[in-house]
Amino acid sequence: MLSYYGKLSSAFYDLDKYIGKSFGDVEYYENRLKDVRGKVLEPAVGNGRVLIPLLEKGINISGFDLSDDMLAFCKAHLEDRKLKADVYKLDMSSFDLNDKYEAIILPAGSFLLLHDREQSISALKCFYHHLEAGGRLILDMDLPGDFNTGSISKRLIKSEENESITIEGTLVDVDFVNQVKYIHHKYEKWKNDKLVDTELEVFPLRWYGVEEMVLILKQIGFKEVVISADYEYGSYPVSANQVITYEATK
């Protein structure tokens, strides 16, 4: 797994996807986990955008991430709210914890960061191993919307007065055989109209066919798999623009 979310990209993420912001996912996961009495795990926890609201609802949730900068934001947000949760630095493709979980969740398409097929299968096996019997894996994914190499997207976000962070993303390659898009990100931090920091990031994202993921999950050993679209449980997707959520039971 490549190294994602360095200092600037994590700062941009934290400003853009702040604690309390939801795309419909926070409420959806809260509803799907409302009857859980055991432990919940969130791999790729990021800054805690989903973990913290679930924790505030009384869900016994912990998480991990591979990015030190993301974990620093997550721990700071927990401390600011006087909340306690175990958060670790781990790789979701090869982690090994002593605990078993009633649910493992991966909102916001974070599973797609595992662009290497072997690593993605390894991660799913890790999830399966760490679930209790009858436990559930719930994960989101997106379908690729842009295959036009060379296309560029730009965004700017204000961080403080007279200070901003910009991101420029360029789609440089699409590997149709292995189902991976390669995006190059350039982050720039500006203060008083002067460039003060820059960060470059290679950002590959994998994609899966809707039913392909079902087959993979069942090959891993999951029994029942429910597909949902745009956080409507059991609503089958009809558009490539929809967020697709899988709920797989061990």
CA distance 146 to 246: 23
pTM for the predicted model, two decimal places: 0.95
Q: What is the DSSP letter of 110?
A: G
Give me the chain's average pLDDT, please: 96
Return d(Cα 165, Cα 158) in angstroms, integer: 6
CA 16, 21, 24, 25 dihedral sign is: positive
Report the C-alpha gap between 55 and 72 in whole angstroms.
18
Residue-wise pLDDT for 26-51, tens only, equals 999 999 999 999 999 999 999 999 99
pLDDT in tens, 64-116: 999 999 999 999 999 999 999 999 999 999 999 999 999 999 999 999 999 99
Strand partners, 188: 166, 198
pLDDT tens profile 194-213: 999 999 999 999 999 999 99
Residues 58 and 35: beta-carbon distance below 8 Å: no
Nearest Cα neighbor of 40 from 82, 86, 8 is: 86
Residues 137, 80, 198, 148, Cα dihedral to 10°: 30
